[in-house]
Structure 1
Amino acid sequence: MAKLILTSDRWDELSALLEDDQRLQREYPKVAEYLSMAERLPGVGDEQADAQFSLRFVHYLTGGTSESMNPYWDIVEPFVTERSGRRVVNGGRAQGSPRLAFAQMQLQGVYAHAIPAPQTIEWISEFSGGRPIVELGAGRGYWAAQIARQGLSIEAYDSDPPDSARSISFPGAAGQVDVWHPVGDLDGFAARAMPADYALFLCWPPGWGDSMAFDALTSFEAAGGERLIYIGERKGGKTGNDAFFDALSARWKLESVDRDFVSWWTEEDVAEGWVRA
């Protein structure tokens, strides 16, 4: 596992922060919560690996510089392994660890539910075929930021943009970024010009019977949309509803699957590219 190399000045900054519990709790409550829980939860069984993961977590979530501009990936990449033909973040253990599971919840709230590995961003670029991309349900806009860094045109929208509305999935907290890319609301999306000369991107649309994914897809179809990027679980999973998957099966064709997609070991999400049949 590649180690994180910090400058002496950054070490001093982190040391001063970690030695002041009140300051850490005030400025970075999510980091303080993670460190408190990490002391009580078993890791993956490799003390060096666990320590390196925690160092990355603390460094990037307290404003540390990310040369890749993708801190989420920088944190989890050393814990990626192959399992049954899938790339998963599990630290080399089939069941991960309680500490890693807690970190997963923290990171999904700070960045995004799905992990934007660089290879997946490249796959999105290829599948979109030069079309602009519109993301619905963008959350903090973290995926949109990574896609924009690839040089693609992307607009992001959400029913509750975290920088202007109360978001249950992405609540605000001291020391964290509200949005990584501009995120408009649904009124802004509705005001977009027709037809749908863009690729629609749905990343972890809500499940449990929520109609968001189905409504987005049918509106996209009505506007003449022809290319869909979907990241989430398949039918019966945590994302989308039955009507969404039924519509895909009836009127769309699966054209591309990102074989390099990286998932948390607790999830069964995939990255798929669909075109109108």
Structure 2
Amino acid sequence: MAKLTITPRRWDELTALLEDEERLRNEHPKVAEYLDMSARLPGTGDDQVDADFDLRLVHYMTGGSVASANPYWDIVEPFVNAHDGRRVVNGGCVDGSARLAYAQMLLQAVYAYAIPAPQTIEWVADFCAGSTIVELGAGRGYWAAQLARSGLEVRAYDSEPPDRTNNASFPEAAGQSSVWHPIEDVTEFATCFQSADHVLFLCWPPGWGNAMSSEALSSFEAVGGERLIYVGEPKGGRTGNDAFFDALSARWRLGCVDRQFVSWWRDADVAQGWIRK
């Protein structure tokens, strides 16, 4: 497990924060909520692993950009393990734990549903080869921010930008960023494609029959789009609708898959690069 290095000054800051319960609840209510709940839930069975995870979560979620430019990854990275040919966050326990499951829900709401491991960001950059990325359903723009930091140009859109509307998937809370990258309203998405060289990026598009993914793909195809990055579950899962997967099967071919992609152990998401036939 990668060692977490914390300066004496940062230790003092964390100690003062954790010893002042009222301040913690006011400044970082989601962290306080996690600490309250996690103490009541079964862990991985290894107390040291659970304590290390809690420390990382508290440190990076309360440390802001000074602590990390990719806090989501820095929280979960030491708890990634290989299982059935995949890289998953399970804390070394095949079945994970109730505490990790609770942390997953919290971290997905604060950052993003999929985990942007540095290797995956590099994989996306290679696939895009310098082309502009257009992301629909960007949420807080966490992936967009990581991709932009790698040098890519990213335009991000969402039907409910969390910094301007009430987004049930990404609720507002003190002590956390509303957005990590500028998010434009989805009404601008229809006119955003200026070139077929753009790459469409769909990360955990809504499933359960929601037409967003198939409509976005149709708009992209209409302007001659040729490359798509899809991060989500296979057909029949919780992301994308049947029409989206049918269109991929009929008019696209799978160009590459990120073998280093990291998922939560309970999820079946993958990172795929698709090319127009």
Same fold flag (TM > 0.5)? yes
CA drift of 1:196 comes to 3.5
Equivalent residues of 1:60, 1:66 under 8 A apart: no
Trace 1:72-111 onto structure 2 (pairs within 5 A): 72-111=72-111
1:252 maps to which residue?
A: 252
Moved over 4 A (4+): 64-68
- Alpha-carbon RMSD across the aligned residues, in angstroms, is 1.2
Q: Distance in 2 between matches of 1:235 and 1:165?
A: 30
Counterpart AA for 1:164 = R
Q: Distance in 2 between matches of 1:14 and 1:150?
A: 30
Query: Taking structure 1 as reference, are residues 57 and 161 closer, same or farther at Cα in structure 2, changes over 3 Å only?
Result: same
CA drift of 1:125 comes to 0.5
Query: Taking structure 1 as reference, are residues 193 and 108 closer, same or farther at Cα in structure 2, changes over 3 Å only?
Result: closer
CA drift of 1:64 comes to 4.5
Counterpart AA for 1:168 = A
Q: Distance in 2 between matches of 1:68 and 1:11?
A: 16
CA drift of 1:68 comes to 5.4
Which has the higher mean CA deviation after the structures are superposed, 187-196 or 211-220?
Answer: 187-196
Query: Taking structure 1 as reference, are residues 71 and 98 closer, same or farther at Cα in structure 2, changes over 3 Å only?
Result: same
Q: Distance in 2 between matches of 1:16 and 1:257?
A: 45
Q: Secondary structure at the match of 1:124?
A: helix
Counterpart AA for 1:185 = D
Counterpart AA for 2:153 = S
Q: Distance in 2 between matches of 1:69 and 1:16?
A: 24
How many residue pairs are counted as aligned between the two chains?
277
**TM-score normalised over the length of structure 1:** 0.97
Equivalent residues of 2:60, 2:67 under 8 A apart: no
2:30 maps to which residue?
A: 30
Which has the higher mean CA deviation after the structures are superposed, 18-27 or 77-86?
Answer: 18-27
Q: Distance in 1 between matches of 2:40 and 2:24?
A: 19
Trace 1:216-227 onto structure 2 (pairs within 5 A): 216-227=216-227
Q: Distance in 2 between matches of 1:28 and 1:162?
A: 18
CA drift of 1:46 comes to 1.3
CA drift of 1:119 comes to 0.5
Q: Distance in 1 between matches of 2:193 and 2:208?
A: 31
1:157 maps to which residue?
A: 157
Percent identity over the alignment is 68
- Give CA-to-partner distance per residue, 1:196-224, whole Å, 9 cap, x none: 33000000000011000000000100111
1:268 maps to which residue?
A: 268
Q: Distance in 1 between matches of 2:14 and 2:124?
A: 36
1:40 maps to which residue?
A: 40
Counterpart AA for 1:17 = L
The answer for unaligned runs of 5 or more in structure 2 is none
